[in-house]
Each structure stands twice: as C-alpha cells, then as structure tokens.
Amino acid sequence: MTETPVPEIHAAWLPPVVFRALGSRRVRVDGEGPLAGTVRAEVADACARFGGVAQPSSPPDLLLTVAASGGAAGSEGFLLGHRDGATVVLADGPAGLLPGFFEVVRRGEAAFDPGLADERHEPHFGLRVLDHWDNVFVHPVMGQVERGYAGGSLFWHQGRLRDDLTRVRDYARLLAASGVNAVTVNNVNVHEGETHLLTDRLGEVAAIASTFRGYGIRVHLAINFAAPVILGDLPTADPLDPAVRRWWSDTTDRVFATIPDFGGYLVKADSEGQPGPFTYGRTHADGANMLAAALAPHDAPVRWRAFVYNHRQDWRDRTTDRARAAHDHFAPLDGRFAGNVILQVKHGPMDFQPREPVSPVLFAMPNTRLAVELQVTQEYTGQQKHVCYLPPMWSGVLGFRPTGDASAADSGRTSAVVLSAVANAGDDRFWTGHPLAQANLYAVGRLGWAPGRDPAAILDEWISLTFPDAPPRLRRTLHTVMDGSWLTYEQYTAPLGVGFMVRPGHHYGPDVDGYEYTPWGTYHFADRDGIGVDRTVATGTGFTGQYPPPWRDRYESLSTCPDELLLFFHHVPYTHVLQSGTTVIQHIYDTHFAGAQRVAEMRAQWRSVAGLVDPAVHARVTERLAEQHRSAEEWRDQINTYFHRKSGIPDAKGRPIH
Ligand code: GCV
C-alpha cells in the first residue's frame, strides 16, 4: 500500500473519500452552462478515483438533470428522489445542479437507497453571504485580516493580489458544498488603498470573481462611501448631489461591464469613524438609496449595515445606551429604503457577544428588506483558540419568534431575507486556525438553507464529512467536545448576558473593567452592591420598549426576564435570586468553576483519541485546548476574585478565590 502524503492544505469537509459512494457508480449529468460543467467535472473526478462511470451510455445509478418543468434559471432548488431504479436530482434550473450534487455527496450510500422518498430542497435565504474583513494592505493595528484568527487573507498578501488563486478555488468548492452562494472579498472598514478595488484595482476583484464563479458563488465588494472624494474625482460625496449620483452610476456600470455577475455592495457608513451621509446632513436612507439607484439597472442589491452607534460616549452619562442605537437610527426609516436596499443587522443589539438578546431591529422594519449578520470569526468567543461551536446560538437567533409563540409557523421568525456572516477562514493550513472551527464555517450555509435544522445534527454531519472513517469513539468524542462548547465558553466569561469584560483592543482574555470607563458604551456598572445594566422602560434606558409584546414585558420584569439575559436588562443586587433558585453571586462562582472544569475535561477527552485522528489535526487541537484551559482558568480566577472583592460575599462551597 502506498502511503498517502499528508496534504499540505487540510481537505476540511471534502476529503476525497466522501465521494466514494457517488464515485463508484454510473453517474450522468445533463444540463448546459458552467455550473453543469462543474458538476460534470466533479463527477468525472470522483468516478476516476473510485471506479465509477461518468456519463455512461447505459442507464445511470444517479441522474442529475434540470427538471422538464424548469423553474427560474437562477433557482437553486431541486428534488431528490428515486425514479426507475436510479437516484435523481431534478434541479429547478442549472443553479440547482451543484447543491443537488453536494446533497448526494453528503448522504453517501444512503443517497442510493431505493426506498428514498422524494424530498424537495430550497434555500430559505436566497442570499447566503460570507463577509471577509480582509485588507489589501496590512493594517498597522488590525493586520491583514481584521479580527482574523486564521492566518493571512486568502486573496491578498501584503498589498498584492495573490498570483496563485488555486486556494480560492478550493475555498469556493468548500463553500458551495456547505450552501453559501456569495462572498464579500474585503473589509467593511474600507481604508484608502482598498477604496481602489472599485476602480483601478477592479481587475483583482474580477480575477477573484472568475475563480468563485465555477462554484456558483458571486462576489460582493465593501465600498467606501467617500470613494468619489478619496479617489480624487469630486469635492463631495453628498448622496443628493447629481454629480455624485452620476459618479456612482457610471462607476457601477463599469463594475458590471467588467464582472457581469457582480453581486452587490456592502457599506459601513457613519460607524466607528467610517464616512457616511451624516457629513452632508443626509439620512442613511439617502445614502443607501443613492447606491441602490446605481445598482438597480443591474438588478443587484446594496447591503447597508445598521451597526451605527456613538463610539465616543461619556460613561458618566447613564442615559445613553449603545444597545438602543440601531433601532433609534433605523426603525424610523422603515419604508424609506429602495427595494434593492438590504439593511444588514447584527444579530444582537451590541456587538457579537457570547450572549445577547436578538436585535429588536429585526422585528421593527416590516417594510424594509433585512439581512441578519452573524460573526463566524470568533472575535468575542475565543478567537479560534477556544473550541466554541456557535450554531446553537445562531439557531436561537434564527428561530426567535417575536410573537413568543413557539408553535408559530416559520413566518413568525425573523423577517430577514439574507443571511450574512463574518468569515473565519484564512490562509492557515486548516483554513480556520482551530481545525474544529471549520464546523462553524460549514454551518453557515447549512443554516442558510434550513434555519430550523438542528445544530447537533449539523455537527454530526460535519463530523461525518470531515472525519469520514472515524470510529464511533472518535465521533462521540468530537461531538462531546464541541456540542455545548458555546455554553461552556459562556460559563467562564462575562456572566448572565452582561457582555464584554474583555481586554480592550484585541478582545482576548478577561479584563472586567477594561471597557468600563471608555467611550465605547459597553458597561456593566458593577459596584459593591450589585451589577447589570438597567435597560427597563420603568427606571432604565427604555431599551426593553424597542421589543414587540410579549418580549418587552418579559424583559422588563425581573420575574420573567430569562436568567441568561438578566444582567443585560437589569441592575440587581448580588443576592438577587435567579429563576434557577441560586443567587447572582453564587451563580457567578458556580458557572466559572464549572466552565473551567469542563475545559479540563474536554482536554482529557481529546487526549484520549490521540491515534484515532490525523496527527497534525490532533496536535493543533491539543495545542489550542491547552491555551483554552489556561485562558478559562484565567477568566475564572479574575471574574471570581473581582466579584468576591466587590461583594464581600464568600463562595457557599468554599472553593479557592484569590
Ligand atoms: C470591522 C466591532 C469590531 C470591529 C469591526 C466592527 C464592525 O467593533 O471590533 O473590528 O469592524 O465591529 O462590525 O464593523
């Protein structure tokens, strides 16, 4: 037996062996166009590897074809079933062939069960986009990838587009196999150099787009609102100025002349120092609608971010509440955005904390198209040094029912039409730094197709694809280590939804008061008596009033506010008794001891499967778990000590607090 060389780049969820069931059969692909061509090439490759026959002259075991009834050309839907002794993928249009193909791959042998009942697959979110925060030039503070924990950019290296885009093609293939259909290539903080991607460096975007195209993935660009000024063409970027409007329209026409299937713009305006319409006394609707007008002839959207708040606030002023900001800015503009504007809303009202309530903006704008934005890159959830499987959190967001009625039909969920997620991949050999963080990337597309899918089932699916020959013990261990890891992370970090307490700037590790007296609006207000932010209508900032009933009442009242969000909504004494029956202070001690202890167990569990996993994967995860363990203990000790010193209340169980 020849030894297979360790691949330079990890195969993630597409190691060759997952194509075995399909590649050992007779497979025919009918259909025209580049996507059908991609599927044919995939099939040919799999059959060459596993002894099957691609495009056989005899009846196939698997037929992938566009259904005779033929839906819209761009439709990605398909039917999977069994007809006349063969498994069939009947795609609505050519765009459905690729997702249909990967559905068969995912199922392996089960896809060829003659008893396979007809299943209709259609994506819930038409646009499922990964937003890369990649810079072209290495930023002096933020580096090549802002909040990137997986090495450098897949696209750019120190100011230049990479010569070899093979990895981008492999990335496109991985994303297509998970269900993602778009990528924004650059950071929403568009610095001067990156502004040129829109014009004189557009060729680089075109090169990336043609690499993604074969896998049905469209490329979007984050643009600088002040581009007409920065590029030196105009003295103003006023969105109501006719010359500015013409500039955007002409520039956008050139983008589409170069990249006919260009996906659209993404804009961070009047946020954290980025330029925007406020400079000219205009509204966000004025700004977004100007870009929408330029994109409309090309039938493309502008995604306009709702992450707008005052980052220069005075901590002494208890009336200003950052959580309120997005709703205060945008809800009054409902109905004033053009049809091709998509308002992109972070899933929580603050900033991707491990626990936040769902943003009320997602339920306040029935006349605006919305995108919900998740953060796959683990800025506040362990920076890909910690195992933190995030889909259970996302699933809660996507399944949140504003009516509060758990039995309500899907229409009761968030009205968002787009799922966007800040990417966590880079040029690291394992794509995501921490090999187990690949599961978070994988899950975005899967939830984008079916937001109601069980996160634990997605995890098992990812395990099967990524570790296809894993013995049951390894499968079980992976599941045990990962499922629940978000709750473990929550246990040893900031308590009960209060958020932050991270080291300022890089946001890794504990610093309870790190942001307490800063202008960023992220406070916990701990004193000797109690902790938490009073966001009630009755006595606080009134944030609870931004929710529709019944949530505004549930969050407003101490007796109905869920424990895990208590300190997000209320300031309470340390002796306040939670619904769980324990006091706030004892809960803090208990969860911090338990969280750090759980990480020690995860470490031991992982150690026990050495020898069952690719040694390089095992070594990388081992190294990261060691750091997670150190960090969890650091969190435990700082948080427990801080609150012990503040409150003077001892741990009822007498454990060591420093
Ligand atoms: C891209 C947070 C992050 C920033 C990020 C910003 C945003 O503030 O720390 O790095 O900027 O969110 O989402 O725009």
The 10s digit of each residue's pLDDT in 264-309 is: 999 999 999 999 999 999 999 999 999 999 999 999 999 999 999 9
Whole-number Å distance, alpha carbon 373 to ligand 1 midpoint, is 12
C-beta of 309 in contact with ligand 1 (< 6 A): no
- What is the rounded CA–CA span in Å between residue 494 and residue 380? 11
| DSSP state at residue 363 | G
Whether the pLDDT of residue 382 is over 80: the answer is yes
User: Residue 252: CB within 6 Å of ligand 1?
Assistant: no
Res. 7: pLDDT tops 60: no
**371 beta partners:** 344, 418
CA–CA separation, 253 and 246 (whole Å): 10
Ligand 1 atom with the shortest distance to the CA of 375: 13
Question: Using CA atoms, how far apart are residues 152 and 89, in angstroms rounded to an integer?
Answer: 38
394 lines ligand 1 (CB under 6 A): no
Residues annotated as catalytic (active site), given as ranges: 272, 351, 379
H or E, element range at 346:
strand 341-346
Separation of alpha carbons 647 and 287, rounded Å: 49
Placement of tokens 């340390």 in the chain: 574
| Ligand 1 centre distance from Cα of residue 114 (Å) | 50
For the four alpha carbons of 83, 87, 93 and 94, in that order, the dihedral sign comes to negative
Instruction: Look up residue 487 and give its DSSP letter.
Output: H
Rounded Cα gap, residues 372 and 129, in angstroms: 11
Model pLDDT, residue 412: 43
What letter does residue 335 receive in the DSSP assignment? Answer: T
SS3 state of residue 225: coil
Contact 351 CB / ligand 1 (< 6 Å): yes
624 in contact with ligand 1, CB cutoff 6 A: no
pLDDT band, very low/low/confident/very high, at 577 (cuts 50, 70, 90): very high
- Judge whether 361 and 327 are in contact, CB under 8 Å: yes
Task: Give mean pLDDT, residues 615-641.
Answer: 98
Ligand 1 in contact with 132 (CB < 6 A)? no
**Whether the predicted pLDDT of 368 surpasses 90:** yes
Tell me, using a 6 A CB cutoff, whether residue 128 lines ligand 1: no
Quick one: pLDDT at residue 72? 66
> Which pLDDT score, from 0 to 100, does residue 573 have?
98
401 falls in which pLDDT band (50, 70, 90)?
A: confident
**Coil, strand or helix at 223:** coil
Outline where 55-96 has alpha helix (H): none
Ligand 1 center to residue 352 CA distance, Å? Answer: 9
Has residue 2 got a pLDDT over 60? no
HSE of 311, CA atoms in CB hemisphere, 13 A: 9
pLDDT for the residue 414: 62
Output the CA–CA distances (angstroms, integers) from residue 550 to 44, 358, 498, 553, 554, in the order listed: 55, 14, 22, 6, 6
Q: Is the predicted pLDDT of residue 580 greater than 70, yes or no?
A: yes
- pLDDT the model gives residue 418: 97
Determine the Cα angle at 274 with ends 273 and 276, to 5°.
120
Ligand 1 atom closest to residue 133's alpha carbon, by position in its atom list? 1
- The pLDDT of residue 68: 76
Distance spanning both ends of the chain, measured CA to CA: 58
The residue contributing the CA closest to ligand 1 atom 14 is 188
pLDDT exceeds 60 at position 409:
no
Question: Does ligand 1 have an atom closer than 6 angstroms to the CB of 133?
Answer: yes
Atom of ligand 1 nearest to the CA of 189: 1
307 CB within 6 A, ligand 1: yes
Strand partners, 158: none
Residue 5 has pLDDT above 90, yes or no: no
Whole-prediction pTM:
0.97
- Cβ-in-10-Å burial (0-12, 13-18, 19+) of 31 comes to middle
570 and 562 Cβ atoms separated by less than 8 Å: no
* Ligand 1 atom showing the smallest separation from residue 373 Cα: 13
pLDDT at 4 > cutoff 70: no
Handedness of CA 35, 40, 45, 47 (dihedral sign): positive
Report the relative pairing of strands 418-422 and 341-346 from DSSP bridges. Answer: unpaired
Contact 162, 217 (CB under 8 A): no
CA distance 420 to 556: 30
Distance 424 CA to ligand 1 centre (A): 14
Residue nearest to atom 13 of ligand 1 (CA): 307
Instruction: Tell me how far the alpha carbon of residue 427 is from its chain's centroid.
Output: 18
Residue 449, H or E segment: helix 438-449
pLDDT > 70: percent of the chain: 97
pLDDT, tens digit, 9 for 90 and up, residues 48-102: 999 999 999 999 999 999 987 756 667 999 999 999 999 999 999 999 999 999 9
CB of residue 270 inside a 6 A radius of ligand 1: no
Pocket perturbation via mutation, ligand 1, pick of 272, 307, 424 by most ligand atoms within 8 A of CB: 272
Residue 337 burial by Cβ neighbours in a 10 Å radius (0-12, 13-18, 19+): buried
**Within 13 Å and on the Cβ side, how many CA atoms surround 624?**
24
Name the residue with the closest Cα to ligand 1, atom 11.
189
To test the pocket of ligand 1, the residue of 132, 147, 322, 381 to mutate (highest count of ligand atoms within 8 Å of its CB) is: 147
What was the pLDDT predicted at 410? Answer: 44
**382's torsion region: left (phi>0), alpha (psi -120 to 50) or beta?**
left
Pair 415, 451: CB distance under 8 Å: no
Q: Which range, of 138-142, 398-402, 540-544, averages the lowest pLDDT?
A: 398-402
For ligand 1, whether the C-beta of 188 sits within 6 Å is yes
What is the arithmetic mean of pLDDT over 603-626? 98
CA 312 to centroid of ligand 1, rounded, Å? 15
Is 78 in a helix, a strand, or coil? strand
Which residue do the tokens 């799999």 mark?
Answer: 46
DSSP output for 118-150: PEEE--SSSEEEEEP-EEEEEETTTEEETT--S
Query: Average pLDDT, whole number, for the chain?
Result: 96
**What is the Cβ-side half-sphere exposure of residue 325, based on CA atoms within 13 angstroms?**
25
Distance 514 CA to ligand 1 centre (A): 17
Ligand 1 centroid, distance to 233 Cα (angstroms): 28
Element spanning 270, H or E: none
Ligand 1 centroid, distance to 504 Cα (angstroms)? 13
Would you say the CB of residue 347 lies under 6 angstroms from ligand 1?
A: no
Helix intervals (H) in 139-241? 166-178, 192-195, 202-213, 227-230
Residue 380 near ligand 1, beta carbon < 6 Å: no
Ligand 1 mean position, distance from CA 346 (Å): 11
Cis check: omega of the bond before 550, within 30 degrees of 0: yes
Distances (CA, A) of 433 to 385, 420, 437, 440, 576: 8, 21, 7, 12, 41
Structure token digits, residue 52: 């099957």
- What is the Cβ-side half-sphere exposure of residue 653, based on CA atoms within 13 angstroms? 14
Whether residue 629 has its Cβ less than 6 Å from ligand 1 = no
Integer Cα distance of 500 and 458 in angstroms: 29
pLDDT at 167 over 70: yes
List pLDDT tens digits, range 318-345: 999 999 999 999 999 999 999 999 999 9
Residue nearest to atom 2 of ligand 1 (CA): 351
Whole-number Cα distances in Å, 210 to 33, 174, 268: 15, 16, 26
Alpha carbon of 423 to ligand 1 centroid (Å): 13
pLDDT at res. 411? 43
Would you state the pLDDT for residue 73? 64
Q: What is the DSSP letter of 332?
A: G
DSSP secondary structure letter of residue 360: G
Confidence class for position 6, pLDDT limits 50, 70, 90: very low
Within 13 Å and on the Cβ side, how many CA atoms surround 538? 9
